[in-house]
Amino acid sequence: MFGLGFGEILLIAVVALVVLGPERLPKVARSAGLWVGRIQNFINNVKTELSQQAGVAEFRQARDSIEAAARSFEQDINANVHSIRGEVDALKRQLYEDEQQTETNSTPALAELSQDYYQPVRDALLLHRVSLRRQALQRRRDMRPKHSITPKLRVRRH
């Protein structure tokens, strides 16, 4: 730990033996050993705490980088959704204008006939909107094998 060699440790032991005497030397050596063990335990605890803090800092840095990437991805998605909605709205407006133009160009009876013709389709589109999850569940249910009724065996008694 301090770079003490065998000769230096031997010199310290001889001086301790002369100063303390043979009666008190084992008690002092035992207490010194306990103190050295406690100091080593404390140093090891500090080292593990520092390594844990370094690991926590690395996790925080990784978490922050992932959150930044997620935010930029979300912003890109929102920008794309916004542009697509704008295009859809423009197409809806153009479709509405085209329908209005065809209604004004055609006879009133033909416009009324076409409106009656398309009305059930429009109603069906509005009524039968089913989520993709529900559609997948329905397909899974349809793919299940149907349970067949197994005949019960009867025992004949003679």
Return all residues near 28 (Cβ < 8 A) that are at least 6 apart: 16, 20
Q: Is residue 85 part of a domain?
A: yes
Q: Is residue 144 part of a domain?
A: no
Q: How confident is the model at residue 79 (pLDDT cuts 50, 70, 90)?
A: very high
pTM score above 0.75: no
The pLDDT of residue 7 is above 70? yes
CA nearest neighbour of 1 among 54, 37, 55, 27: 37
Q: Is residue 155 part of a domain?
A: no
Residues 17 and 25: beta-carbon distance below 8 Å? yes
Q: Is residue 133 part of a domain?
A: no
The pLDDT of residue 24 is above 60? yes
Give the domain extent around 39.
Answer: 6-128
Per-residue pLDDT tens for 131-143?
778 888 888 888 8
- pLDDT number for residue 127: 56
Q: Is 25 exposed, middle or buried (0-12, 13-18, 19+ CB in 10 A)?
A: middle
Q: Is residue 141 part of a domain?
A: no
Q: Is residue 78 part of a domain?
A: yes
Q: Is residue 16 part of a domain?
A: yes
Mean pLDDT over 76-98 rounds to 90
Average of per-residue pLDDT values in the chain: 80
- Among 17-21, 119-123, 150-154, name the most confident range: 17-21
Q: Is residue 151 part of a domain?
A: no
Number of domains comprising the chain: 1
